[in-house]
Structure 1
Amino acid sequence: MLKRMATVLVTSATVLGGLSVCQASVAGTASAMPEKADIGIDISAMDKSVQPGNDFYRYANGNWMKTTKIPDDRSSTGSFMEAFNATEKHRAELIAKLVKEKHPAGSNDARIANFYHAYMDTAAINAAGMKPVQADLARYAAIKDKDQLSSVLGANLRVDVDPLNATHFWTENLFGLFVTQGLATPGEVLPYVLQGGLGMPEREYYLSDDPKMQELRKAYRAYIETLLKKAGIDHAAERAERIFALETKIAKAHVSRADSEDFAKSSAVWSRSDFDKKAPGIDWQAFFKAAGLGQQQRFAAYHAGSIPALAALVASEPLQSWKDWLAFHQINSHADVLPEAIDKAHFAFYGTTLSGTPKQRSRDKRALSALDRYLGDAVGEAYVAEYFPASAKAKVKAMTTQIIDAFGRRVKALDWMAPSTKKEALAKVNSLVVGVGYPDTWRSYSNYHVDPDNAYANEVNGEKVKTAQQMAKIGKPQDKGEWWMNAQIVNAVNLPVQNALNFPAGILQPPFFDPNADDAYNYGAVGAVIGHEISHSFDNNGAAFDSTGAMRNWWTKADFARFAKQGEALAKQFDSYKPFPDLHINGKLTLGENIADVAGLAAAYDAYKASLHGKKAPVIDGLTGDQRFFIAFAQTWATKMRDKALRQRIATDGHAPGMYRALTVRNLDAWYKAFNVKPGDALYLAPDQRVKVW
């Protein structure tokens, strides 16, 4: 849901490591690219034997592609990984210092140290065996009827739809929870009810006839049985069969990805009584009371099409199937803090079978990722104090202002847009709330008890704290300055219902930003990131929201038709890219990101040219300013992915793989002039075929 309501540059921190993506996420092993000179771009990564007009990605990254090895503990690598490795190194230094010191009880430093100690103590985790999870398993085993089942399902409701930090980017509870302003209720913050309940990424993994999907289904069914056996649960084969059959029915109940991405179909607001009338099968009174929402009268039914079908399954499917399903997911979603055999089995399926990653990350690095998930703001506050100077924040803020201004000038210059539409568009531009580096207010963890000896309890308690933090917003005015990312995350985000942008400190470093580097590099790299997030306010999804964050049609019919036509052309352009003979990029699925890339790169280019104040950029190492700008952009999308991970990305992710995002340059006239690209070159598009959205 966050990936839909908050349009991210990449996908998830895990993907981050696995993508060179819009996440997305580069070199031999740990660090991606060599030290850069003041030119910013990496000359050694280029393959100048390639004609830019024939394969611009390989021209910019060809030697890097030849020499780079994907680390064994990653499903991919890329430029985002370079920044991720830098932040990980810094975080490791911070945590190493913290865990050696004594801290006041109840302080964030104490919480961080306790969490890390417990997570790293695998001997204690192994010795404890399944004892930490027994209370939860007993809770499920004690369910006697569907009313009690409804209560347990409600008690398990969590704000766990978190692609930025989650191990998976789907919810394993039957329903997911998200809290923000309603799509069609400006000023009213509501709890969103989302479809969930799957252990694989989405419904097509259960329903597709594709042979590779069929193989994954068999592997997942086998994994369920393996996990239950390793957890010491009897009749594992029978239980696994019931669990898989139930999840297949849950998948059939889900709305399609296309419908899920369609905000117009997702803006329903249900009253409390609507759940009883429209979705019988669950005791909704028991469900919401157990969830802590017993007094809530209004909900955003984001997946209104699937809620009734999921509720019906609660009534129709055998109670034992639900009890088995609950037990499996309790273990599966906390495998990292349960005995090693369970942890390894979990990685074998999710890491190797699903993503093709041969080796699991070291425990200490996984501990850092877990800290980001459960104590992200506490770590972030320490991180920015040490590694993100005020001067860097000031420079990026200035660049952001320049690129927003450039985008506004582009809107003003549109000759096809009616004055009424243009007025609304400019209102959005002028009211953007921009956060750079870190939030003004850090989240409080005062209610989060972290045990130095119980890693499982720390995760469960952390989930409850995160949920309580979000639920506390219900009924209060929307905070447009709220951050949805940790400061140390290598990513960026546009928040349509807040009309806000976040640029965490994690992405404000090489290869995206270097305060000492050539301006052409910075505008082509982080400038394009900034432009991308600005442009998300005006992509095929963002364009449905007005300056207040309300979903409202502010377009004339003719203007939107013209806008949609350009989107169709861009979707067709990306449909033509085929990483495999049997699989092409889904232009419609990735359209929002691709629109943001095109418009964002154009705005960043305009801002770069304006920054020269009429002067000619210097030629450095034989490259003009415009050439350095476009090469910098392409190098931020340096990407290498394992085939399984690439296939998963294409099937499930709204972001095209990085090597194809680099080809966004085909739509900018300035790129043709910069590299003398002519008809006959493989990437050449006639002027009337170049997509100009904004």
Structure 2
Amino acid sequence: MTTAELFPDLDSSVSPADDLYRHVNGRWLERAVIPDDQASTGSFRLLRDASEEAVHQILEELSAGNGADLVAAAPEATEHEAGLLAGLYRRFMDTEAVEAAGVSPLAPILAEVASISSVPELIAFLGRGVRRGVAGLFYLEEDSDPGDPDRYVPWTGQAGIGLPDEAYYRDDDKAEIRDSYLAHVQRSLELAAVPGDAAALARRVMDLETEIASHHWDQVRNRDMQATYNPTSFADLSTSHPGLLLDTWRQAADIPETVLSTVVVNQPSFFDEVEPLLRDDRLADWRAWAAWNVVRSYSPFLSADLVEQNFAFYGRVLSGTPQLRTRWKRAVGFVESVMGEALGKFYVARHFPPAAKQRMDQLVARILEAYRVSISRLDWMGEQTRAEALTKLSNFRPKIGYPDKWRDFSGLQLPEGGLFEAAQAATSFEVDRMIEKLSGPMDPDEWLMYPQTVNAYYHPLRNEIVFPAAILQPPFFDVNADDAVNYGAIGAVIGHEIGHGFDDQGSTCDGHGRLRDWWTEDDRTAFKARTRALIDQYDALVPVQLQPDGPHVNGALTIGENIGDLGGVGIAFLALTLSFADSGEPAPIDGLTWQQRFFLSYAAIWQGKYRDEALRSRIATDPHSPDELRCNQIVRNVDAFYRAFDVTPSNRLWLDPDQRVTIW
């Protein structure tokens, strides 16, 4: 493929040695317009739009009665699944029925809230909310046990707030957002016909959430896998926190005591500190808070005025998005949230060719081999830790495209009623699935993303890397592109996900996913010195868009992703180099060397444009650095980049050799 085909937006007025990101994406940045219903656009967003449209087409066909034809083309799918998908989609799209129902579905639940006259009644209401999908004071979910990764355990931890993060309740620069949130709560309560003075109720909500948030751990502390792994028995947790009435909560949620024999508590101090808030003299506050959580949780499934009000804050204020997404896009999101994997069967049959999976298998194998070579050569790591690292690497489990074993939806039935009832039934089905999983061994074939998802992930407790089908297309992966282009794009993504196995979190787990310190003290110290240097680099950065006064990147929050990015590029480049051992290096294409095409391809995958509000929110809460820094700051640390583009001290991307960080 020609350079013009692969990189149509190259800006020759910007030197790659000064700004690789804008050299590759500059012309696109100038002309790109963020759609009114989105907070950003770019390579990820455009692929997600394409995936969304593909799924939309499938749902339209199913809804039109073409389920039999689609099932025939997707052998793994069933008529039952096709009927459920069509039913969920039709209920969401039936705006006439949704508007006719208005807020009436909330009335019986809000009546329960109004009748709460004691803490036990409050706790029982929160328990019932688990199956209803109503946000609560703490969450319950299942995942692998870091102490015994072959089994599932329930995890619980802090919740209870409506803003994105605890910092939003205390930081001075979030004061305007807090004011908007207070107004949003008040207006939502009015629209939902919650009895009482909405302004006074909203103030109670804000004050109580501020108290709850003050007991939350911050984002950086929550990254500590040792600190957040606190296994105990549910009985002991209940006994040590009598004011939380946890057994009352469990019974109301209809969760068998047998599956809660062991519980992992993420933030123990949160339970200690919110317990005193549950008092009879605070019940008016808790009733207001509970009513708000009912309204907040169900707003997407109610009449247009509440949907719009919900978007006015969470869309416009928090992310700067001016326009609500069209109904069909929200319908796709809802159906995916309920039956995303079932939809994936139809998506794979229509959009994922076997050749792509075969090429990816080869790429993953080569990236893993490059990691083996690199770890074997590390001069800062001792032999004992090196042996453990290589053992962990040999135990990595790649998953590509789609699951070998699909989720079973045969137990899901849609009740009589409309969208509201369907949403409740879906939540209760998920709770039952959680209980079923907690009753058996960990399923190694389970996927935590859908095939149509444009993303990838590494799971430290399962030591697996997962690449859904939808990400395996340009600009990330192109079966017609040369190796340099694919290694610079999907190769770096593969390397990134493998790198998570050795980042600040993943490095605390061994090759079986067990939380275990397999490092010598000297090697851990050397590792921390390198990560500290990378943290310091990112702490100093502000995206160009928000300069000069915008917030700095949080190096400690983003360190795991930055380690993944840095390792991903370095290891993908090494893998590409090793692949030329037998065939020799390829000749330049259109005047570009393979090294240059590798880095241009890497820059292309980070093409992105954000609204200011969305970028500020991302910096505050997202463990990923802004796109331009995932490109420019990473290559500043990679020696091969300097050689590829003859970078000198006079160039803006120059970083003195003694300041460059190499970890893996």
Give the TM-score range, shorter chain: over 0.9
Relative distance call for 1:683 and 1:97 in structure 2 (3 A) is same
1:297 to 255, 261, 282: 261
Structure 1 residue 320: Cα displacement: 2.6
Residue of structure 2 equivalent to 1:57: 21
Q: Is the 8 A contact 2:415 2:425 kept in 1?
A: no
SS of 2:156 mapped into structure 1:
strand
Residue of structure 1 equivalent to 2:564: 596
Relative distance call for 1:452 and 1:528 in structure 2 (3 A) is farther
Paired residues, number: 646
Residue of structure 2 equivalent to 1:666: 636
1:243 to 198, 202, 205: 205
Residue of structure 2 equivalent to 1:166: none
Residue of structure 2 equivalent to 1:224: 185
Counterpart-to-counterpart distance in 1, 2:242 and 2:502: 38
Relative distance call for 1:49 and 1:76 in structure 2 (3 A) is same
Residue of structure 2 equivalent to 1:11: none
Is 1:77 the counterpart of 2:46? The answer is: no
Counterpart-to-counterpart distance in 2, 1:316 and 1:142: 13
Counterpart-to-counterpart distance in 2, 1:418 and 1:321: 57
Residue of structure 2 equivalent to 1:537: 501
Residue pairs, 1:218-617, within 5 angstroms? 218-234=179-195, 235-291=197-253, 292-295=255-258, 296-315=260-279, 318-450=282-414, 454-579=418-543, 580=546, 581-582=548-549, 583-612=551-580, 613-617=582-586
Normalising by structure 2, we get a TM-score of 0.94
Q: Is the 8 A contact 1:433 1:480 kept in 2?
A: no
My pick for the range that moved more, 478-487 or 646-655, is 478-487
Relative distance call for 1:365 and 1:452 in structure 2 (3 A) is farther
Structure 1 residue 453: Cα displacement: 5.1
Counterpart-to-counterpart distance in 2, 1:559 and 1:520: 33
Residue of structure 1 equivalent to 2:101: 128
Relative distance call for 1:40 and 1:88 in structure 2 (3 A) is farther
Counterpart-to-counterpart distance in 2, 1:140 and 1:366: 29
CA root-mean-square deviation: 1.9
Structure 1 residue 98: Cα displacement: 0.8
Q: Is the 8 A contact 2:40 2:610 kept in 1?
A: yes
My pick for the range that moved more, 469-478 or 99-108, is 99-108
Q: Is the 8 A contact 1:73 1:358 kept in 2?
A: yes
Structure 1 residue 159: Cα displacement: 11
Question: What is the identity, as a one-letter code, of the residue corresponding to 2:663?
Answer: V
SS of 1:178 mapped into structure 2:
strand
Q: Is the 8 A contact 1:282 1:315 kept in 2?
A: no
Q: Is the 8 A contact 1:490 1:507 kept in 2?
A: yes
Structure 1 residue 451: Cα displacement: 5.0
Residue of structure 2 equivalent to 1:19: none
Is 1:114 the counterpart of 2:76? The answer is: no
Q: Percent identity, aligned pairs only?
A: 37
SS of 2:410 mapped into structure 1:
coil
Residue of structure 2 equivalent to 1:165: none
Q: Is the 8 A contact 2:2 2:589 kept in 1?
A: no
Structure 1 residue 648: Cα displacement: 0.5
Residue of structure 2 equivalent to 1:29: none
Residue of structure 2 equivalent to 1:214: 175
Counterpart-to-counterpart distance in 2, 1:159 and 1:677: 58
Residue of structure 2 equivalent to 1:31: none
Q: Is the 8 A contact 1:40 1:518 kept in 2?
A: no
Structure 1 residue 669: Cα displacement: 1.0
Counterpart-to-counterpart distance in 2, 1:294 and 1:528: 45
Cα deviations across residues 86-108 of structure 1 (Å, max 9, x unaligned)? 21121122112111016589711
SS of 2:140 mapped into structure 1:
strand
Counterpart-to-counterpart distance in 2, 1:40 and 1:629: 15
Is 1:625 the counterpart of 2:628? The answer is: no
SS of 1:479 mapped into structure 2:
coil
Q: Is the 8 A contact 1:497 1:549 kept in 2?
A: yes
Question: What is the identity, as a one-letter code, of the residue corresponding to 1:603?
Answer: I
Counterpart-to-counterpart distance in 1, 2:4 and 2:455: 20
Residue of structure 1 equivalent to 2:617: 648
Q: Is the 8 A contact 1:172 1:199 kept in 2?
A: no
Q: Is the 8 A contact 1:114 1:451 kept in 2?
A: no
Counterpart-to-counterpart distance in 2, 1:371 and 1:267: 33
SS of 2:492 mapped into structure 1:
helix
Cα deviations across residues 396-429 of structure 1 (Å, max 9, x unaligned)? 1111111111111111111221111011101111
Structure 1 residue 452: Cα displacement: 8.0
SS of 2:278 mapped into structure 1:
helix
SS of 2:172 mapped into structure 1:
coil
Structure 1 residue 41: Cα displacement: 6.4
Q: Is the 8 A contact 2:561 2:623 kept in 1?
A: yes
Counterpart-to-counterpart distance in 2, 1:108 and 1:562: 52
SS of 2:478 mapped into structure 1:
coil
1:684 to 651, 654, 658: 654
My pick for the range that moved more, 306-315 or 403-412, is 306-315
Cα deviations across residues 580-631 of structure 1 (Å, max 9, x unaligned)? 3331111111000000100111111111122233412231222111111111
Greater fraction helix: 2
SS of 1:462 mapped into structure 2:
helix
1:196 to 145, 159, 162: 159
2:645 to 675, 683, 686: 675
SS of 1:334 mapped into structure 2:
helix
Q: Is the 8 A contact 1:185 1:550 kept in 2?
A: yes
Q: Is the 8 A contact 1:406 1:603 kept in 2?
A: yes
Cα deviations across residues 23-49 of structure 1 (Å, max 9, x unaligned)? xxxxxxxxxxxxxx4659643211121
Relative distance call for 1:41 and 1:290 in structure 2 (3 A) is farther
Question: What is the identity, as a one-letter code, of the residue corresponding to 2:171?
Answer: S
- Unaligned runs of 5+ residues in structure 1 are 1-36, 161-170
Relative distance call for 1:678 and 1:245 in structure 2 (3 A) is same
Residue of structure 2 equivalent to 1:173: 136
Structure 1 residue 647: Cα displacement: 0.6
Cα deviations across residues 366-399 of structure 1 (Å, max 9, x unaligned)? 1111111111011111111111111111111111
Relative distance call for 1:135 and 1:665 in structure 2 (3 A) is same
Question: What is the identity, as a one-letter code, of the residue corresponding to 1:660?
Answer: L
SS of 1:265 mapped into structure 2:
coil
Relative distance call for 1:206 and 1:317 in structure 2 (3 A) is farther
Is 1:637 the counterpart of 2:637? The answer is: no
Normalising by structure 1, we get a TM-score of 0.90
Structure 1 residue 208: Cα displacement: 1.4
Q: Is the 8 A contact 1:511 1:636 kept in 2?
A: yes
Relative distance call for 1:154 and 1:38 in structure 2 (3 A) is farther
Residue of structure 2 equivalent to 1:15: none
Counterpart-to-counterpart distance in 2, 1:464 and 1:267: 27
Question: What is the identity, as a one-letter code, of the residue corresponding to 1:154?
Answer: G
Residue of structure 2 equivalent to 1:26: none
My pick for the range that moved more, 384-393 or 271-280, is 271-280
My pick for the range that moved more, 263-272 or 555-564, is 263-272
Residue of structure 2 equivalent to 1:3: none
Residue of structure 2 equivalent to 1:146: 119
My pick for the range that moved more, 139-148 or 61-70, is 139-148
Counterpart-to-counterpart distance in 2, 1:516 and 1:71: 30
Q: Is the 8 A contact 1:41 1:632 kept in 2?
A: no
SS of 1:180 mapped into structure 2:
strand
